[in-house]
Amino acid sequence: MLIEYINKAMSNATYDKLEDRSFSGKIPQCPGVVAFGETLHQCQQELRSSLEGWLIVKIRHGDKLPVIGRINLNKRMPAPKEAVAHG
């Protein structure tokens, strides 16, 4: 589900060509996720890396994540039941 979330977020990315012919990219639903690169491909790679780091920090801190493409990573997984030892 995390890979689907990342792929969907990346599909929402927007890119601009800068005056120096390099590129900037951002994901509007993920504030602060921005990247720059000399080529569009490099910018896309940097943006994916930025998104992954952003997600790690947000998850670690328990921050709410934006729902992207109906993928909601905020739902808690049920706690696993403890294994019962049979003897």
Indicate the domain borders of the chain.
2-61
Q: Which CATH number fits domain 2-61: 3.40.50.2300, 3.30.160.250, 3.20.170.30, 2.120.10.30?
A: 3.30.160.250
Q: How confident is the model at residue 64 (pLDDT cuts 50, 70, 90)?
A: very high
Q: How confident is the model at residue 79 (pLDDT cuts 50, 70, 90)?
A: low
66-72, long-range: CB < 8 A, 24+ apart: 66/29, 66/30, 68/5, 68/8, 68/9, 68/12, 68/29, 69/4, 69/5, 69/8, 69/11, 71/1, 71/4, 71/5, 71/8
For residues 64-72, average pLDDT: 95
